[in-house]
A and B are shown apart, each in its own frame.
Chain A
């Protein structure tokens, strides 16, 4: 019974951790939109803009990846099951 509760709560927690994807989604969309604007204004600088945009996207993505790692830990390496 206890195990079932822990497993259910972990599954819900893993699902909630996926909410962390919202922030990077908005942020990356914003960054890419701005990059498109910049390329539209100055097509000759598209190489540098794209490179910078990808790095910015990668940095913005890290919070989402933290959420993913928490979800993966809850699903595949659950630390709470050992405490029962």
Chain B
């Protein structure tokens, strides 16, 4: 979809369809996700290659620091019994960061597609349900919806279903608004260059979009990855009974 702005047409596209497999669209997002996954797996293999106990290399120290930080975050917000969730949180965090940061290279961020964030939010949703059923039993799980009084059952069910919706829309909305605003600013600056007679060389498009890019790509990318992970931890952790403090 697009609309006219002077002689230029402002176009803000969804992800392009690269090719089709059995009628399923394989979009830009899917291919870039594969690239991001390959980069993350490569990085992880590189950092954990040739580890040694006595004489740790620099990359091993970085890898250990990352693992310690994620473990600490999970321990703080979910309790030390739930450390089993730490790898998933680190995965979501790194995937989200790399998925958002590829926009620095001029690619379309993976997280700017609702399918990506919805998939992550659905994983979180089923994780919450699994944790609840595991702790309360299948009967206690369904009874739990009618607490504190039976009248609130529909509201409890809606609020349960709203969790994945709000999580996915929050992440997608932040990244997608960045894409749209950067695009609009780019076209506006091109138009400005035309207006002052510099149509051959749009001088205003140099530098100025980079300022916005720092906010929308770097800050929003890190912030949303952090928030998505923290909310996943908080929501899944809330399904577990409180741990006694020692």
Q: Mark A42-74, 1 if CB is under 8 A from B, else 0.
A: 000000000100110011011001101100100
Measured in the bound complex, the distance between the Cα atoms of B176 and A77 in whole Å is 14
The answer to whether A54 touches B223 (Cβ under 8 A) is yes
Pairs of residues from A and B, 4 with the lowest C-beta to C-beta distance, nearest first: A65-B173, A58-B227, A76-B1, A62-B166
Q: Does B231 sit at the interface, judged by CB under 8 A?
A: yes
Identify the closest chain B residue to A64 (Cβ): B173
Give chain A's interface residues, CB within 8 Å of chain B: 51, 54-55, 58-59, 61-62, 65-66, 68-69, 72, 75-78
Give chain B's interface residues, CB within 8 Å of chain A: 1, 12, 14, 166, 169-170, 172-174, 176-177, 180, 223, 226-227, 230-231, 234
Measured in the bound complex, the distance between the Cα atoms of B1 and A77 in whole Å is 7
A interface: dominant SS: helix
The answer to whether B170 touches A62 (Cβ under 8 A) is yes
Residues of A within 8 A of B173 (CB): 65-66, 68-69, 72
Residues of B within 8 A of A72 (CB): 173, 176-177, 180
The answer to whether A55 touches B234 (Cβ under 8 A) is yes
Measured in the bound complex, the distance between the Cα atoms of B171 and A68 in whole Å is 12
The answer to whether A69 touches B169 (Cβ under 8 A) is yes
